[in-house]
Structure 1
Amino acid sequence: MLAQQIFNGLALGMGYALIAVGYSLVFGILRLVNFSHGAIYAFGAEMAMVFIGLNFGIVPGIIASMIVTGLLGIAIDKVALEPLRKKHSMPIASLITTIGISNIITNLLIVFLGSEKRNFPQLFNSGSVKIGSVVISSTQIMMCVVSLILMGVLVFIVYKTKIGLAMRASEQNAKAANLMGINVNFVISFTFFLAGMSATIAGALVGGYYQIVYPNMGFMAGLKAFAAAVLGGIGSLPGALLGGLIVGVSESMAASFIGSTYRDSIAFVILIIVLIVRPHGLFGRKGITKV
């Protein structure tokens, strides 16, 4: 049972890691916790459901939803956050704005798509693999494979491309980067686009895993992913991956050995313990301000 729950937790943790990546990307550039990211994750899952329902096919439908959700991320920044930056508003103003945006997105999903839970198609159905007494489904395997591939792509973009260099320069000193000819506003928009795309893939994978989506699915998942991002060191992509896996495995263990009632709280218990012992997270750098 222990080995089985570890594998179940790893698959679940990969979904949290992909959501946590969005928190880390935006925080790395703006030093802002984007609390609308959980709602963006739900929006991406719902859009994937809509496009697949329109007979786009599973892969084209997910790609289309990634683009739409990425554009939503850009719109959030351009409409609500960029004007606050231009007015040099206090950081708390942007934080509260993202909370408001989260509620707006969720309510719009309820208005246009309804509040009921809907069946999401199973993305992978190739049976299962049995290793001893441990049964690993094809869905769990593919969740891990797709998540690792996406994580590798994001790391490559951030550390091996020109736009990634511009992102890291903007993270270090936005004013200096602007003076060196870097379009910081474009870099920020691109970061929100990447965060939206990763959230959509997470929403599609988790929706396919549980075969269900609904407008409020991003609330608790977003909080757990935020806990994973802070646990790993918010702003660090490897930290987001490790934090997501720790949260996923811990949740799976808690559901099996303590009771499903406590599965949602275990992530925050671990977060509090880690922040007491290591305030900047497992891979975080000292000097980063936690919000």
Structure 2
Amino acid sequence: MHYLSEHFSSLFRDFGQLTTTGLAQGAIYALFALGYTLVYGVLRLINFAHSEVFMVGTFGAVLTWSALGLDQNSHINGVGSIVLYLLLGLLAAVIASGGTAVLVERTAYRRLRRKNAPPLVFLITAIGASTVLSELVGVLSNRSVRSSPIFVQPHDLIRIGNTSLTNVQLILIVTALVMMVLLDMFINRTRLGRGVRAVAQNPDSAALMGVNKDRVFALVFLLGGLMAGVAAVMYLMKIGTTRFDSGFYLGIKAFTAAVLGGIGNLRGALLGGLVLGLVENYGAGFFGTQWHDAVAFVALVLILLLRPTGLLGESLGRARA
């Protein structure tokens, strides 16, 4: 009883701080998870190469900043300069991630889809594409750690008792929400988005109505890659380093977030990412940091036992406009 009382006391004492930290981490999971949920919602395919799409985005940003003469020791003065460099890095990241995602779709999946390959073949191909990308970047980078400049020095914006919200945490949370709203509006309110939802609901009927399935599939991969590129810059702002395998473990967390929220559901990916970030931090606050990852996956199993379709569970094809 004393053990439980002590840990509950620790959790309640740090509850506010664990919440803000969990939301910031969950925001990265959420954007990362959108790639998994978009592809699954339309193709019923788990694209395990998406973790490497994210990783390529981190390298795209870091190499761009390096080409501009910036490293982890650079001191950037002026809000305008900071915004400019961040936008250039973001542009490089989304181009690198989006281009990689489309390349994976064209080279690894399109021919299999046209041959009506069984799902297991797609799964093995996804794992192979993931390994190839990871090892290729590993060879080209000499498996070294690459560091990004520190654009925003963390400082408290709001402090209430033991709880503080930093400027970096606020940027991460707001960015995830804004990107989620923009993507949701694109899918539900644009002509291309209607094509995506039509193919997700019934590919054959959509084709009969004049929707080009191949273009829709490429668009879905591109959108997922763009979200991964934004997540890559957010990750660099929070962590500050990357390497050839940086996407692997984070990709597992993002996939967990997608399943937790209801894979195939865009809003579910956002909810699942935020919930996963909170659960991880609350678990670490109660059990200790060494249980940080275990608690998240235990929570996933428990939720899926009670609700196998995830928290929201609505497929992309049946999402309301």
TM-score, normalised via structure 1 length: 0.95
Q: Which 5+ residue runs of structure 1 have no aligned equivalent?
A: none
User: Aligned runs of 1:142-291 on 2, under 5 Å?
Assistant: 142-285=171-314
2:57 alignment partner in structure 1: 44
Secondary structure of the 1:215 match is coil
Report what 1:84 is aligned to: 112
Computing the radius of gyration from Cα coordinates, the structure with the larger value is 2
Specify whether residues 256 and 117 from structure 1 end up closer, same or farther in structure 2 by C-alpha distance, changes over 3 A only. farther
CA contact (8 A) 1:18 1:147 kept: yes
Contact 1:51–1:62 (8 Å) recurs in 2: no
SS in 1 for 2:158: strand
**DSSP-derived class of the 1:130 partner:** strand
Give the match for residue 147 of structure 2.
Answer: 119
Deviation at 1:123, TM superposition (A): 3.8
Q: What is the rounded CA distance, in whole Å, between the counterparts of 2:120 and 2:263 in structure 1? A: 18
Q: Is 2:38 the partner of 1:28?
A: no
Distance 1:150 1:184, change over 3 A: same
Alignment RMSD, CA only? 1.5
Cα separation, 2, equivalents of 1:256 and 1:115? 33
Are the counterparts in 2 of residues 123 and 139 from structure 1 also a CA contact under 8 Å? Answer: no
Aligned length: 287
Q: Deviations over 1:110-137 (max 9, x none)?
A: 1111322222223433732132122211
AA matched with 2:18 = Q
What is the rounded CA distance, in whole Å, between the counterparts of 1:183 and 1:278 in structure 2? Answer: 35
Distance in structure 1 (CA, Å) of the matches to 2:63 and 2:190: 33
Say which of 58, 62, 66 aligns to 2:90. 62
Q: Which among 28, 34, 44 is matched to residue 15 of structure 1?
A: 28
Runs of 4+ in 1 over 3 A off after TM superposition: none
Give the CA deviation at 1:64.
Answer: 2.2
What's the CA shift string for 1:198-227, capped at 9, x where partnerless? 111111101211111111111111111111
Q: 1:2 aligns with which of 6, 15, 20?
A: 15
Q: Which amino acid aligns with 1:241?
A: L
Q: Deviations over 1:5-44 (max 9, x none)?
A: 1100000000000011111100011001111111111111
* Ranges in structure 2 where 5+ consecutive residues have no aligned partner: 1-13, 69-83
- Please identify, of 34-43 and 51-60, the stretch whose mean Cα deviation from structure 2 is larger: 51-60
Structure 1 residues 126 and 258, CA gap change in structure 2 (3 angstroms): closer
Distance 1:127 1:231 in 2: 32
